[in-house]
Amino acid sequence: MAFPAQRLRRLRASESLRRLVRETRLAPSQFILPLFVCPGERVRKEISSMPGHAQLSIDNLVREAEVCKKLGLGGVILFGIPEQKDEMASGAYDPDGITQRAIRALKKEVPGLLVITDVCNCEYTTHGHCGFVKGGDVDNDTTLEWLSRAAVSHARAGVDMVAPSDMMDGRVGAIRRGLDSAGFTNTPILSYAAKYASVFYGPFREAAESAPQFGDRRSYQMDPANAREAIREIALDLEEGADMIMVKPAMPYLDIIREARNTFDVPLGAYQVSGEFSMIMAAAANGWLDLDRTILESLTSIRRAGADFILTYFAKRAAEFPL
C-alpha cells in the first residue's frame, strides 16, 4: 500500500508530532566536556583557534566544573598541561602532577560530577609524541609502563574513569593490570579504541601544547582509510578489559560509529574533536551557518549513527538547548 494511502508528510506536519516520533534524542547527560588544566592561579589562557575555550588553572577549572554539574552534563574529561616537559613524560605519572592535583580538587570541590582523565603522554614529552621515542619512533612497550603508572596515579587521586588515547598496542591490558594490582579493580577504562591519525586534531594541539616536534602520529594512530581495522582495534581493547569504547573523530567517521554500534554491545562514545568544533565556529562567525542549529544537527547525527555519549566542546551550550 503506497501513495496516496501512505503519506509520510502526515507525521511531519507539526512540531508536536515531529517531537513524538523523533527517533534520536539528546540529553545533557550524554555530553562530556573536555577541559584543559594548567599550572598557576587565576589563569584563563584563551585558545585562539577554539573560541570560548581556554587553559584553566585549578581554581578556574573548579568553577567551570561547577557550571558543568549544574547543567547536568555527563561529565568532564581532563587534559593536563604540565609546568615542564621532558623525554620521559614524567609529569604524566607524577603523583603530584597537574592532572593529579586537578582530580583531587574536582573530587573535593565538585562532588558528584563524573571526572574522566585522558591518559596519554604527548602533553608531557618535549617532542610531543605519545610515548617513549627510540630510534625515531615511539617504543610501544616502554610506553605501556608509563601509561599504567599514569592511570594508577589518577586512580589514587580519585578519578572516576581513565581514557587512554595513545593508541599503543596492549595499553588497555597494561592499564587494567596496573589498576587491579594497585587495588583499583572498580575503576573503569574508556578506551579511545578507534582513534584515527586525523587532521582534525589541529586546534587541540594548540590547546594542549602537544604538537609532535618531528614526524606525525601515523605509526600509532589509525589510517583514515581503514574501517575493518577499527573493528579489530575495538575487539582487542574489549578483550584486554575496556569497559567502554570510543570512536574519534566523530563526524567524518559516522560509518565507524555505526559499524561499532552494530558489532559491540558495550557503551559507545564518540569524540567530536577540536577541528570539528573550530570548523563549525568559523562558519558561524562568518554568518555561513547558524551556530545552534549546526550544533544540534551535528550532535544528532553522531547519536543517530549509534553513539551513546559524545565528547564535545559544545557540551555546555548544547545542554542549554531545549532538547
Exactly one of 70, 108, 195, 316 is catalytic; name it: 195
- CA pair distance 130, 208, nearest whole angstrom: 13
> Which residue has 508528510 as its cell numbers?
9
Q: Determine the interface stretch with ligand PBG among 20-28, 181-189, 198-206, 232-240 (rule: CB under 6 A).
A: 198-206
Q: Determine the interface stretch with ligand PBG among 21-29, 109-117, 143-151, 201-209 (rule: CB under 6 A).
A: 201-209
Question: DSSP labels for 213-269?
Answer: SSS-STTTSBPTT-SHHHHHHHHHHHHHT-SEEEEESSGGGHHHHHHHHHH--S-EE
When binding is defined by CB under 6 A, the residue of 146, 184, 196, 204 that contacts ligand PBG is 204
CB of 197 to ligand PBG, least distance (A): 8
Q: Confirm or reject binding of residue 240 to ligand PBG (CB under 6 A).
A: no
Q: Confirm or reject binding of residue 118 to ligand PBG (CB under 6 A).
A: yes
- CA pair distance 253, 272, nearest whole angstrom: 10
296: cell is 544540534
The letter for the amino acid at 35 is: L
Q: Confirm or reject binding of residue 274 to ligand PBG (CB under 6 A).
A: yes
For residue 151, give every residue at least 6 positions away whose Cβ sits within 8 Å of its Cβ, in sequence order, or none: 119, 162, 164, 175, 178, 179, 187, 189
- CA pair distance 225, 163, nearest whole angstrom: 24
Phi, psi of 20 (to 5 degrees): -65, -40
Q: Confirm or reject binding of residue 120 to ligand PBG (CB under 6 A).
A: yes
Exactly one of 70, 134, 248, 316 is catalytic; name it: 248
When binding is defined by CB under 6 A, the residue of 33, 61, 122, 250 that contacts ligand PBG is 122
For residue 114, give every residue at least 6 positions away whose Cβ sits within 8 Å of its Cβ, in sequence order, or none: 32, 74, 75, 76, 160, 161
Output the CA angle 225-231-232, nearest 5 degrees.
100
Q: Confirm or reject binding of residue 191 to ligand PBG (CB under 6 A).
A: no
Q: Which is nearer to ligand PBG, 282 or 322 (CB)?
A: 282
- Is 195 known to be catalytic? yes
CB of 161 to ligand PBG, least distance (A): 15
Residues 158-187 binding ligand PBG (CB under 6 A) are 165
For residue 35, give every residue at least 6 positions away whose Cβ sits within 8 Å of its Cβ, in sequence order, or none: 56, 61, 64, 65, 76, 77, 78, 79
Q: Confirm or reject binding of residue 273 to ligand PBG (CB under 6 A).
A: yes
CB 209 within 8 A of CB 81: yes
CB of 204 to ligand PBG, least distance (A): 3
Q: Determine the interface stretch with ligand PBG among 13-21, 133-141, 168-176, 200-208 (rule: CB under 6 A).
A: 200-208
Q: Which is nearer to ligand PBG, 7 or 197 (CB)?
A: 197
Using CB atoms, what's the residue nearest to ligand PBG? 204
Q: What residue ranges bind ligand PBG (CB under 6 A)?
A: 118, 120, 122, 130, 165, 201, 204-205, 217, 273-274
Query: Could you list the active site residues?
Result: 195, 248
